[in-house]
A and B are shown apart, each in its own frame.
Chain A
Amino acid sequence: MSETITLTLDGRSVSLPAGMTILDAARRAGIDIPTLCHHPDLSVRANCRLCVVEVEGRRTLVASCDTEAADGMVVRTNTPLVRKARQDNLGLILSDHPMECPTCVRNQTCELQELTYRVGATSFAPAEREVPWPLDSSGPSIVRDPNKCVLCRRCVEVCHEIQTVGAIGPARRGFETVIGPSHGYSLAQSSCVNCGQCINRCPVGALYEQDDTAKVWAALADPEKVVVAQIAPATRVSIGEELGFPVGTNLESKLPAALRSLGFHAVFDAVFTADLTIMEEGSELVERLTQGGKLPMMTSCCPGWVSFAETFYPEFLDRLSSCKSPQQMLGALAKTFYAQEAGIDPARMVVVSLMPCTAKKAEAQRPEMRSGGHRDVDVVLTTRELGRMLRQAGLRLDQLPDEPFDDPLGLGTGAGVIFGATGGVMEAALRTAHRLVTGRELDAIDVQPVRGLEGVRTATVDLDGTPVKVAVAHGLGQARALMEQIQAGTADYHFIEVMACPGGCVGGGGQPICAGQADYARRAAAIYAQDQGMERRRSHENPAVLELYSRFLAYPLGERSHQLLHTHYQPRVVATV
C-alpha cells in the first residue's frame, strides 16, 4: 500500500499517493497546468518552463513536471509571477518561430497554437536569425524544418530512448542550438529508419512527412492513368480522427466509396495481402522449423524494422523472413495479376498506398521493389495525407454509402485486419501455422498472450508436441533488447514479430497526431472488434487468397511467389550511428 501525502494546491488541501509530480497531482485535482515539452509517453522534462509553479520555500519557480509533490508542500499554480513567466516563455518561443500558422502543416493540431490561445503570450520583437536554417528534405519520408523547432526535445527522446536509433540530437549552443543529425549530416545520411515517431511527438510543424498528395491528385486528373488504392489495416481505424470522428472509429466501409469519388479506378485492401503474407511467411516458418533453417525467424512486414536491422544488426539479416510487406505484395499483384485479369497495361497503372506509416514511403522507393519492370507501389500516403485529400474534396464520410472493396485483391479476413496492432502478425501467423503443421485449427482463436502494449510479449505454442516459442516486440528499443538477447545467446525463440512503432501500426509515424499510448489502445480495440465480428478470421480461409494460388501463384513459396512476393536485404552503411 503506497503512502498518502497531503499538499496545498492553490489554497486547497489535496491528498494523493506519494511519488507523483506536482503536474500530475494538479491535473488530478482539476488544475490543468500548461505543458509543451512534457509528453505522457516520454520522460522529457523541464525544458520549456511553461509548467512552472510557485512552491513555498523555494527560491525560484519550479518546473512542476519535474518536481515530486511532497507532504506539506504549499503550491501555487496561478499567481501573477507564474502567469507572467508562462506568458513570457511562450512569447519568447513565438519570437523565434515563423508566424505562418494558417499555412502550416500542423495548423489546428499545433500544441504551441493551442497553448498560446489558452495561456496568452507576451509580445517580443522577432528574434530573427541572419540565415534561416535550411530545410532538410533529403530523406524519402521525413522533412525537418529547424526554423519551426521549439527545441522541446521530444523527438530526441523518442529517437534515442524509445527507438534507440539516435539519428537526431541537439547540436551547438545558446540561440544557435539546433536539433538534427550530428556533424551537419542530413537525415538521409543519418541512421534514421524513417519510422516517423519524431513526427508524432513533435508539438509543432518542425517535423512532417514528405507530402505526396500532389502526385496523387495529378495522377487522378490524368486520363492516361489507372489509379488504384490499397488501404492498410491501421488506417481505417484512424482516418476518422483526421475528419473529426472520435478516436477508434472504424471507417472501413466508407473508404471505398470515398476513394472512388476521388477518382480511384479500384480500391483494394492490404488486408488481402496481409493474409497472403501469412500464407507465405507461415510456410517459410514451417520450412525453417522442419528443414533446419536459420532461427529465430523474424517478420519483415515493417519497413522501419527492416531498415533498423539492416543498419544495426546486419549479421542477422538471414533471420528476416524473405516476404515482402503486404503493401509491396499488393502492388506487385496489382501490376501483374490484376493488370492481366482486367486487361490494363501495367505501365499506365498508379498504385497508391494509404498507410499509417512514413517508412512505407522509403520502402516503396527501394530499387529492388519492382515487378515485371514496374515499381510495385508508386505513391505512399500517410493517414494524415489521406485526411488532407478527403478534407480538400469535402467528403463527409458518415454520409457516404457502404461499399465493398474491389475484386480480386479486396477480400480479407480478421487475421489480416489485426496486422494493424502489435502482436497481430504473430497471432495471425499462429492461427495459420497451427493448421499448416497439425492439420487442425487452434482451440482458442484469440491468442491473448501476444496482445497488449507491454514492451516484449512471449508465448509458447504447442504444435503437435513441438513447442514453438514466440516473441513480440514493438518499438525499436524493445527490438534492440531482443536482438541483444539473441546476440548473447540467451533467447531461444523460433519466431519473432517486430513492429518499429510503439503499439504497432496503430501508433505508426504516419498516423493522426494523438495523445499517445492511450489512443493507440483505442485504435487497437477497434481493430480487434472488427476481427471479432468477422466470419472468416484465419488467413488460410480467405477464398480470394486460395483462388489467387489456384489461378496465378500455384502454391506458397512457389516460383511466382519468389519473383513477386519475396525480397532480400543488405547491410546499410550510414554516416552517423
Chain B
Amino acid sequence: MSPTATFPETKSKELRWVLGQMDALDPDRIQDYLALDGYEALRKAVTQRTPEEVLTEVKASGLRGRGGGGFLAGRKWELARAEQSPLKYLVCNGDEGDPGAFMDRSLLEGDPHLVLEGMAIAAYAIGATQGYVYVRAEYPLAIERLNRAIEQARSHYCLGERLFGTDFSFDIAVRIGAGAFVCGEETALIGSIEGRRGEPRPRPPYPVQSGLWGHPTVVNNVETFANVPLILQHGAAWFASVGTANSKGTKTFSLAGKIKKPGLIEVPMGTTLREIVFDIGGGIPNRRTFKAAQTGGPMGGCLPEACLDTPIDFESLAAAGSMMGSGGLVVMDSGTCMVDVARFFMEFTQEESCGRCVPCRIGTRQMLGILNKLCAGEGTHQDLEQLEALCETIRTASLCALGQGAPNPILSTLRHFRSEFEAHVYEKRCPAKVCTPLIRFEVSAERCTKCGVCVKPCPTGAMKWHKGAVAEIDPATCSHCRRCIDACRFDAIN
C-alpha cells in the first residue's frame, strides 16, 4: 500500500506542490508524466535558456536543501559551476534513514520522473554529465520504479546523449545503499558510491570542490530536486511567494507517532506545529494530550507544547533547539517518557555511528550507558552532570554532522523536559510511567475510582478488585507489563 493511501482527508492547511500530481499519474508510465507537462521545464531549459539563466532562476527562488542542512541549492550549484573541471557529478541523496520518515520514498515511488527531471535541470545548470541516485536497499519498489523511469526517459530523449537534440548530454544511474544510516551524510555517501566504506571525511574540501572520484559534485536530496521543475515551470517569484523570509516554498513531512491521522503531508514553510498536529493531523488519539513533537530525525530535537506555535522553517526550528531535518515528524503524547525517548535516539545513533572518530564512537556509547542507568532508576547527580558535559564535547569535537548532532535529542529534552530527568534521578520516579524499574505497581487509593477497568487487561491475574473496592496488585504475580497503567484513565497506578 502506498503511504499516500493513508493521506488525511482534511487538506485545508496543506499545499501540495511536490506531491501534487502523484495521485494523478502511474509512476510506471512516462506518458502520464508527459501528459501533465512533464519534462517541459527541462526541455525549455536546455533548448531556450542558458545554464546561467537556469542557475539565476533557482537562486532567485530561494530554494534551500530539503535534506536537513538547508543550504541554498542555487548557491551550491553556483559553486560547482564555478569549479574548473572537465568532469562534474550530480548525486541525488535518497538514503532516507530517519526513524519514521518516508517522504523521499513516497516521491521516488510515486513520481520518479519529477526527481529525474529536477536532476537533469540541475546537471544542465552546473555542467554535470553523469548523475547518480543513491537509494537505500530497503526501498526495492523505489529502485524498481526509478530504473524503469530512467529507461523511459532515455527512450524519450529526456536523459542520455544529446537531450532534446541539443549538445547537452546527461545520464543517471541508480546506486543502492547497504543499510548504513551514516551514508546519508554526503561525504560518506560519496565514499559508498565509490565502493569504499561509507564513512564521512572532514570537510573542507566540500563535495562541490572535490566529490565523487575527486571531481566537483553536487549532492542534493530527493525533495530538493523535485522542487526544481516546478520553479522552472512557474518561475522563481511564484515559488518565493510562499513561505517565510528565509525559507521559501513548501515542505513535506511524514507525520507519525501518537496522532489521529498519520501520513504524508506538504505544507507551506511557516505553517505552525499546531496547525500540522491539530488541523492536519487531527490531534492526539486515545484521549491523551500532546507532549512533544520530534523533528529532524535522530540528530533533531523534541519540541514541547510551548513551542506549538513555532513556524516551521529552518531558523525557527533551530532556535527552538531542534532542526528541520528531512521531514520526519513524530508526535508524542502524555504517555511518553522523554528520558526514554532520548535513550531510544541514542541507541539508534550509537549503532549507526560509523566508528571513525572517538567522540561519536565511544561518546554515544557512554551517553547511552548513562541514559540506561537513568531509565533503570540507577542514575546519580554525577551521571546527569557527566551526560551534559559529554553532550558538549561530542557536539563540538566530532568529525561529521552525525556526531555533532548526536547529543541533540538529549540537549533538547533536557532543555524542555528537565524535570523529567530530575524525577528519574532524585525521586526515582518516571512521571510518564514508562520506565518499568521506576514504577512501584501500586494502586493509589486516592485516585482509584474503583471502576475495575484495570482487571481485564491484566494477563497474570495480579490485579485484584471487588466491586466498590480499590483495586490491588499482587506483587508476587505482577509481571510489570504496564497494561493496567495504559488501561487506567485516572492515573491511579504508581
Residues of A within 8 A of B (CB): 45-50, 52, 60-61, 63, 66-67, 81, 84-85, 88-89, 92-93, 95-96, 122, 124-125, 127, 150-151, 153, 169-170, 172-177
- Which A residues are CB-close (under 8 A) to B361? 151, 174-175, 177
CB atoms of B353 and A92 under 8 A apart: no
Task: Return the contact of B359 from the options A89, A150, A173, A177 (Cβ within 8 A).
Answer: A89
Q: Cβ of B352 and Cβ of A174 under 8 Å apart?
A: yes
Q: Is B396 an interface residue when CB atoms closer than 8 A count as contact?
A: yes
Given A49-B397, A88-B389, A88-B393: A173 and B366 interface contact (C-beta under 8 Å): no
Nearest residue, chain A, Cβ from B404: A60
- Asked if A49 and B399 make an inter-chain contact with CB atoms under 8 angstroms apart, the answer reads yes
- Distance of A482 Cα from B201 Cα, bound (Å): 31
Between A and B, how many residue pairs show CB distances below 8 Å?
A: 110
> By the criterion CB–CB under 8 Å, are B399 and A46 in contact?
yes
Residue contact B393 to A84, C-beta cutoff 8 Å:
yes
Task: Please tell me if B447 contacts chain A, counting CB pairs below 8 Å.
Answer: no
Please, which residues of chain B bring their CB within 8 A of the CB of A170?
197, 199, 355-356
**A174 touching B357, Cβ below 8 Å:** no
In the complex the two chains form, is B396's CB within 8 Å of A85's CB?
yes
Chain A facing B: main interface SS: loop
The answer, among B202, B350, B386, B397, for a CB contact under 8 Å with A175, is: B350
Known A66-B202, A92-B362, A127-B366; judge A60-B395 contact (CB<8 A): yes
Query: Chain B contacts of A93 at CB under 8 A?
Result: 358, 362
Compute how far the CA of A337 lies from the CA of B465 in the bound complex, rounded to whole angstroms.
99
Q: Are A84 and B355 in contact (CB under 8 A)?
A: no
Q: How many Å from the CB of A194 to the closest CB on chain B?
A: 25
Task: Judge whether B365 is part of the interface by a CB distance below 8 angstroms.
Answer: yes
Q: Which 6 A-B pairs have the closest CB atoms?
A: A177-B355, A92-B362, A88-B393, A85-B397, A174-B353, A175-B365
Kindly identify, within residues 377 to 413 of chain B, every residue whose CB is under 8 Å from any CB belonging to chain A.
Answer: 386, 389-390, 392-393, 395-399, 404
Bound CA–CA A88/B202 (angstroms): 21
* A524 and B242 alpha carbons, distance in the complex (Å): 72
B interface residues, how many (CB within 8 angstroms): 34
Q: Judge whether B396 and A45 touch: CB under 8 Å.
A: no
Given B351, B353, B357, B369, which contacts A47 in the complex, CB threshold below 8 Å? B357
Q: Known contacts A60-B396, A81-B396; is A88 also within 8 Å of B390 by CB?
A: yes
- B62 near A: Cβ within 8 Å? no
Nearest CB to that of A81 among chain B residues? Answer: B396
List residues of chain B with CB within 8 A of the CB of A125. Answer: 366, 369
- Nearest chain-A residue to B398 (Cβ)? A49
Q: Count chain B CB atoms within 10 A of each CB in A52, A60, A63 and give the residue with the most.
A: A60
| B404:A45 contact, CB within 8 angstroms | no
Question: How many whole Å from A68's CB to the nearest CB in chain B?
Answer: 9
B435 near A: Cβ within 8 Å?
A: no
Compute how far the CA of A181 lies from the CA of B362 in the bound complex, rounded to whole angstroms: 22
B residues within 8 A CB of A45? 202
Q: Would B359 and A92 count as touching, CB distance under 8 A?
A: yes
Contact mask for chain B residues 60-94; partner A; CB cutoff 8 A; 1 contact, 0 none: 00000000000000000000000000000000000
Asked whether B180 lies within 8 Å of A127 as measured between CB atoms, the reply is no
A96 touches B357 (CB 8 A): no
- Can you list 9 A-B pairs, Cβ within 8 angstroms, ordered by A? A48-B357, A49-B398, A88-B390, A93-B358, A151-B355, A153-B356, A173-B352, A174-B364, A174-B365
**Cβ A49 vs Cβ B202 within 8 A:** no
- Minimum C-beta distance from B182 to chain A (A): 7
The closest CB in chain B to the CB of A177 belongs to: B355
Most chain A CB within a 10 A radius of its CB, from B353, B392, B396: B396
Closest to A88 in B: B393
Question: Which residues of chain A are near B393, meaning CB under 8 Å?
Answer: 84-85, 88-89
